[in-house]
Structure formats: structure tokens, C-alpha cells
Chains A and B, each alone.
Chain A
Amino acid sequence: AQTVTQSQPEMSVQEAETVTLSCTYDTSESNYYLFWYKQPPSRQMILVIRQEAYKQQNATENRFSVNFQKAAKSFSLKISDSQLGDTAMYFCAFMTGSGGSNYKLTFGKGTLLTVNP
């Protein structure tokens, strides 16, 4: 079974600064996908960024980028130029790429990020 670990329950950052959220995972699969989701106080989960394990290049979406270290099974999220609206719970998630019967996301426990003015 896959597991996802987020070792930082809470983090804070000053507006306009950069912050990195950590995530490690454990799997025996070679084909899989990794995601970062954001859950603001409204409770709606929003996809921030995704990474295909077979791609060596780290994914980037505007101010959000990842550092994907496949051998170390590490998938950290870097948020640049932090904004007040980035305040939310961030979840790292895993999905096997086997297809067929594995259409589920396995989530970490989350990191509560607070951006201070």
C-alpha cells in the first residue's frame, strides 16, 4: 500500500517570501502521479500542481513549483512570492498510474500554511 507523509503540520511565511512544503511517499510502483492540493477555509479542494513520475522535469505552475526526487521518494512544493490568498491547508497526494482498478488518491495529513502580512 502507498503512504504519503507530510512532516510539517503547520508553517508560516511572510507575504512575498518563499516557502517550501515537504512530502515523502512510499510505493513499489514505477508508474504513478503526484499532486499538491490546496484546501482553503471554504473547504473546496483545488489542484495546485501535478507531476508524472516518468517525467524528470519538475512541474511548474506560475508561482508554484515542485522538487521531485524520485529515488528519494520526495515531492516538495515551493511557493514563491507568497500571497495572503495562499493561506490554506496543503495536501500532498499520490495516485498509481496502473489504471484499471486504482482510481484513487492517497493523501498526506496536510500542512497548514499561514501567510502573514
Chain B
Amino acid sequence: KAGVTQTPRYLIKTRGQQVTLSCSPISGHRSVSWYQQTPGQGLQFLFEYFSETQRNKGNFPGRFSGRQFSNSRSEMNVSTLELGDSALYLCASSSGGGADGEAFFGQGTRLTVV
């Protein structure tokens, strides 16, 4: 069974640009969550999607957005990039979200904003 796949693995962008990150969950999983990991703030929750609906959102500015497709694949978009957006972005998938199903993480996308 394939794991959670995040693409691309590494990305370098310039301030002011926008970026789209992709996450393909484990087959059959309908919940996808996104987290931002930085040395200063640690791991912070961005948002969670289930069956194409956003169920929960963290405290991030509106520049951070996401969506989920009918095949459960998810994308997150960051517009007008700032230097502080440089981080490892992790995606996690689970069968139904919540604590009933284990969350499986991808290897992340390392975003560097210059």
C-alpha cells in the first residue's frame, strides 16, 4: 500500500510569488490535514479536509488556502509569499480524521522563500 505522497519535495520561491503544494493520501483515506513546521514555531496546524470539505482551520492568514478533490488528493496554496513562510509543510492522511484512525504523514515539502 503506497504511503502519503507529497510533491514537490523541495521548492525555492521568491517573495511575492505564490506556490501550490500537493498531497496524495493513502488509498481509501478521506481526511487530509496540513501542518507547517518551522524551527521557531514548531508544528502548527493549517487545515483539515474531509470529502472535499474543510472541517477545521488553524490560525493562519488568508494567504494560506487549500482544497481537496473528489479523489481525496489535496492541494494547499500560499499566495504573496513572505520570507517567514519558509518551512517544512507536512501532510497527513487518515481514514476519517479525528483520533479513531491513525494519521499517516508524508515526507513533507521543504519550501524556501528568498
Residues of A bordering B, CB below 8 Å: 33, 42-47, 50, 52, 91, 95, 97, 99-110
| B99 A43 Cβ-Cβ under 8 A | no
Q: Is the CB of A91 within 8 A of B43?
A: yes
In the bound complex, CA of A91 to CA of B92 (Å)? 15
Are A44 and B42 in contact, with the CB atoms below 8 A? no
Q: Is the CB of B56 within 8 A of A103?
A: yes
A102 and B42 CA atoms in complex are apart in Å by 20
5 contacts between A and B (CB under 8 A): A50-B102, A97-B98, A101-B55, A103-B33, A104-B56
Q: Is the CB of A43 within 8 A of B55?
A: no
Given known pairs A33-B99, A103-B31, the reply for A45 and B105 (CB within 8 Å) is yes
Measured between beta carbons, the chain B residues less than 8 angstroms from A106 are 45
> A44 touching B107 by the CB < 8 A rule?
yes
Interface residue tally for chain B (C-beta within 8 Å): 25
Quick one: given A43-B107, A44-B107, are A104 and B102 in contact (CB under 8 Å)? no
- Say whether A103 contacts B50, CB under 8 Å: yes
State A46–B90 Cα separation when bound (angstroms).
12
- The prevalent SS among residues of A at the interface is loop
In the complex, the answer to whether B98 meets A43 with C-beta atoms within 8 Å is no
Least CB distance, A30 to chain B, in whole angstroms? 14
A75 vs B71: C-alpha distance when bound (angstroms):
37
Measured in the bound complex, the distance between the Cα atoms of B97 and A101 in whole Å is 10
Q: Which of B67-114 contact A (CB under 8 A)?
A: 88, 90, 92, 97-99, 102-108
Q: Given that A47-B102, A95-B98 are contacting pairs, would A104 and B33 also be in contact in the complex, using a CB cutoff of 8 Å?
A: yes
B110 to chain A, nearest CB (A): 8
Known: A43-B88, A45-B92. A103 touches B97 (CB 8 A): yes
| Contact in complex: A43, B102 (CB < 8 Å) | no
Q: What is the chain A residue whose CB lies nearest that of B9?
A: A43
Separation of A102 and B103 alpha carbons in the complex (Å): 14
Contacts of B16-57 to chain A: CB distance below 8 A? 31, 33, 35, 42-45, 48, 50, 55-56
The yes or no answer to B8 lying at the interface (CB within 8 A) is no
Are B106 and A44 in contact (CB-based, < 8 A)?
A: yes
Determine which of B31, B44, B108 lies in contact with A43 in the assembled complex, contact meaning CB atoms within 8 Å: B108
